[in-house]
Amino acid sequence: MNTTIMLFLLQDGITNGAIYALLGLALVLVFAVTRVILIPQGEFVTYGALTYASLASGQMPGTAKLALAMGIAACAFDLFVARKALHGRLILRSVLANIVLPAAVLALTIYFAAQKPPVAVCIALSLVIVAMIGLYLYRVAFQPLAHTSVLVLLIASVGTHLALQGLGLLFFGAEGQRGPAVLSGAFTAGSLRFTGQSLTVYGITIAFIVGLWLFFGLTLYGKALRATAVNRLGARLAGIRTTLSGQIAFLLASVIGALSGIMIVPITTLYYDSGFLIGLKGFVAAIIGGLVSYPLTAVAALFVGTVEAFSSFYASNYKEVIVFMLLIPVLLLRSLAAPAVEEEKD
Amino acid sequence: MSALLSVTDAHVAYGKVEAVRSVSLQVGQNEIVTIVGANGAGKTTLLSAIMGVLPLKGRVAFAGQDLAQLDIEDRVAMGLGLVPEHRELFVTMNVEDNLELGAFRIERSRAKASIERIYAQFPRLKERRKQLAGTLSGGEQQMLAMGRALMGEPKLLMLDEPSLGLAPIIVADIFRIVSELKASGVSVLLVEQNAQAALKIADRAYVMELGEFVLSGKASDIAANERVAASYLGFQHEGESAI
């Protein structure tokens, strides 16, 4: 191997690793706040990517309709739970957030899909659609189970993953799609060639990490989210609703997922089921970070990306195997270092 | 004057075991009420159930409103506060963030003013404002837990064993602050094993044994009661049995 190839693989690894880092951070966040191991994170990636690609090629993405359908279900849940103490403001708020909003977005999507909108519009619409799906998914599938054990939440998580993947096949078909680059053009520095897309990936990843850091460190809602993660009962006693924290966590996770998808789909062809594997690699990074440490997760993600790039060069048939095998020594080490933990009692 | 908090015929059970049986209590405006009793009498359980942490059978009304349908967060918004036995602080966050979050539901401008008031009340917290809550001493943690609860501007603050495991000098400090709360218009429902100190600052008291109230009345009368004195105040009258 010469230096050029090595640098090229490293660059490739870091580009992928940046995306795994975002996904890993989202997984850690959602787990810390809601105790949900977010398997459908991968579907947020595919939905974001394929919604973007469909819109860019002038097709109507089915995800916009799904958002409305899930919104209606979320609204029904809200009204059912509050049935004993219904009042006008609550109904109005629920209908606005769960039905009017996705309906308006659906109308916009239908309008724009017909006329091959510019890249910025495609990105904005895709992000909003997937964000709504994430939010309603929490309301419908996880909020009612919030008090149950991690295992029950995991089963629900697997269930929603399978359902969303099936719907993905329905909406986008079995064919793979590719989207237009967010930033076209390229330049060469020494023997390395940087494409606009890879620079976009670095830029957005760094911006997002800095943004998250500011959000958690400086804003009241960010602190409330951390508080819920640190001590659920303490947060409730301070008047912070667990459901609010859960909503924010899912919103962030779905936006991060969709954004990752939009960044990948100009580089790689994505299929309705590609998200799962991408999400799993973020998961490997999150596990290396112990599902608690954000910086460790980010570093681990870059490592996962790099290992993937090198193994696809040396043993491309085994590249997934090699990446997932990273988990075994990590889990072994962690099990030796950590004291035995009992499943929390409910 | 109607009571601020009124609990009628409350039962709290863990599965089939009833930890609190048929308890009724009232806390008025500007009143310090204490519940004394031995370890395991059901005091903590009762406070948790009033706050909505545990399910309660019976009626709980706060400021004239029935709490049955309300979550913990709604009760906090109504002005009911609990400083739990284990304090439940945000240990990986600093003192100031903990306090700020206590005022999550309060207007930002008012919260800024409250934080200064809390610092005046607990100067130690001001010194440690940038320190992580988990690195504070037990007494400081207790002060922080009380400060955080007060940031939510409660009308009634429920304190669960605030003196547990603290040095006597800090206990005195905590009890001084509790009696100051009354002067600032906050009612207090205080659960304590340190009955002597609690009865000194309380207006009224309930004595709890095995999940039931066995005595109630003015704190001074309870403190003078021989049976209470023997069981909870550590005075063993000669020739008498403990109970």
Least Cα distance to B146 among B186, B195, B92 occurs for B186
pLDDT digits (tens, 9 = 90+) for A33-79: 999 999 999 999 999 999 999 999 989 999 999 999 999 999 999 99
In three-state secondary structure terms, B36 is strand
Q: How confident is residue B234, by pLDDT bands cut at 50, 70 and 90?
A: low
In a domain, A206, yes or no: yes
> Mean of the pLDDT values across residues A261-267?
91
Shortest distance, CA A175 to any CA of chain B (angstroms): 47
Q: Tell whether the model's pLDDT for residue A288 goes beyond 90.
A: no
**What ipTM was estimated for this complex?**
0.90
Yes or no, beta carbons of B100 and A238 under 8 Å apart = no
CA–CA distance from A304 to each of A37, A212, A298 (Å)? 19, 22, 10
Q: Do the strands B5-14 and B17-27 form a parallel or antiparallel pair, or are they unpaired?
A: antiparallel
Per-residue 3-state assignment (H helix, E strand, C coil) for A297-336: HHHHHHHHHHHHHHHHHHCHHHHHHHHHHCHHHHHHHHHH
In a domain, A344, yes or no: no
pLDDT digits (tens, 9 = 90+) for B164-178: 888 888 888 889 999
In a domain, A345, yes or no: no
Per-residue model confidence (pLDDT) at position A336: 82
Yes or no, beta carbons of B92 and A226 under 8 Å apart = yes
Q: Which residues have C-beta within 8 Å of that of residue A223, sequence separation ≥ 6? A: A216, A217, B93, B97, B100, B101
Cβ neighbours of A328 (radius 10 Å): 9
C-beta separation of B182 from B119 below 8 A: no
Determine the residue type at A170.
Answer: L
Domain count of the fold of chain A: 1
Shortest distance, CA B221 to any CA of chain A (angstroms): 34
Quote the pTM value: 0.87
Domains of chain B: 5-200 (3.40.50.300)
Place of tokens 């969709």: A258
Q: Which two tokens stand for residue A192?
A: 């390395």
> Could you give the CA distance from residue A99 to residue A180 in angstroms, rounded to a whole number?
31
> Could you give the CA distance from residue B214 to residue B228 in angstroms, rounded to a whole number?
10
Among B48, B67, B88, pick the best mutation site for testing chain A contact (most A Cβ within 10 A). Answer: B88
Least Cα distance to A62 among A106, A94, A104, A23 occurs for A106
Yes or no, beta carbons of B104 and A239 under 8 Å apart = yes
In a domain, A144, yes or no: yes
C-beta separation of A279 from A285 below 8 A: no
Shortest distance, CA B216 to any CA of chain A (angstroms): 29
In a domain, A343, yes or no: no
Can you give the residue range of the structural domain that contains A180?
3-337
> Could you give the CA distance from residue B12 to residue B21 in angstroms, rounded to a whole number?
7
Per-residue model confidence (pLDDT) at position B24: 94
Yes or no, beta carbons of A240 and B89 under 8 Å apart = no
pLDDT digits (tens, 9 = 90+) for B16-35: 888 999 999 999 999 999 99
The DSSP string of A172-234 is: H-SS-B----SS--EEEETTEEEEHHHHHHHHHHHHHHHHHHHHHHH-HHHHHHHHHHH-HHH
Q: Which residues of chain B are within 8 Å of residue A230 when distances are taken between CB atoms?
A: 90-93
Q: Which residue of B has its CA nearest to A241?
A: B73
Phi, psi dihedrals of residue A326, rounded to the nearest 5°: -55, -30
Q: Tell whether the model's pLDDT for residue B239 goes beyond 60.
A: no
In a domain, A269, yes or no: yes
> Mean of the pLDDT values across residues A167-181?
91
Q: Which two tokens stand for residue B111?
A: 């919260």
In a domain, A342, yes or no: no
Q: Tell whether the model's pLDDT for residue B236 goes beyond 90.
A: no
Q: Which residues of chain A are within 8 Å of residue B102 when distances are taken between CB atoms?
A: 238
Q: How confident is residue B242, by pLDDT bands cut at 50, 70 and 90?
A: very low
Yes or no, beta carbons of B92 and A85 under 8 Å apart = no
What average pLDDT does the structure give for chain B? 89
In a domain, A193, yes or no: yes
pLDDT digits (tens, 9 = 90+) for A292-304: 888 889 999 999 9
Yes or no, beta carbons of B53 and A231 under 8 Å apart = no
